[in-house]
Amino acid sequence: DVKVTQSSRYLVKRTGEKVFLECVQDMDHENMFWYRQDPGLGLRLIYFSYDVKMKEKGDIPEGYSVSREKKERFSLILESASTNQTSMYLCASSLTLNQPQHFGDGTRLSIL
């Protein structure tokens, strides 16, 4: 089974802080994704990566950046956290872009 691990289940940070969310997958998947999920809005793609050091913007990249230095690890960075970034963040990976994605447990991030 694919295992996608997110570093924290719950995280509380303050406005203006730089926040790092880490994600690791153990199935040698090429593609990795970061989503946020908010009530009534569903899953929205922030960034994705289809190879090491490669990144592509999703639908809502503003206020975020990503890093993929190793194939198994994909980091989401909130450069200067704001209260409207309080959300559930989900990392996913897939073998190819047309195969189903497998999700981590999610990180509930609160920005105070």
Partner 1 sequence: RKEVEQDPGPFNVPEGATVAFNCTYSNSASQSFFWYRQDCRKEPKLLMSVYSSGNEDGRFTAQLNRASQYISLLIRDSKLSDSATYLCVGDGGQNFVFGPGTRLSVLP
Q: Which of 5, 7, 13, 58 binds partner 1 (CB under 8 A)?
A: 58
Residue 37's alpha-carbon distances to 10, 53, 63, 91, in angstroms, are 14, 25, 16, 11
Site size with partner 1, rule: CB under 8 A: 21
Report the sign of the C-alpha dihedral through residues 104, 29, 44, 69, in that order. Answer: positive
Minimum Å gap between C-beta 80 and partner 1 is 26
Q: Segment near partner 1 (CB under 8 A), from 21-29, 68-76, 77-85, 101-109?
A: 101-109
Closest among 12, 36, 21 to 74, alpha carbons compared: 21
Say how far apart CA 20 and CA 7 lie, in whole Å.
9
Among 11, 45, 60, 77, contact with partner 1 (rule: CB under 8 A): 45
Shortest Cβ 44–partner 1 spacing (Å): 8
The correct pick among 22, 63, 102, 110 for binding partner 1 (CB under 8 A) is: 102
Both tokens of 55, joined, read 């990144």
Residue 24 binds to partner 1 (criterion: CB under 8 A): no
Does 61 help bind partner 1 (rule: CB under 8 A)? Answer: no
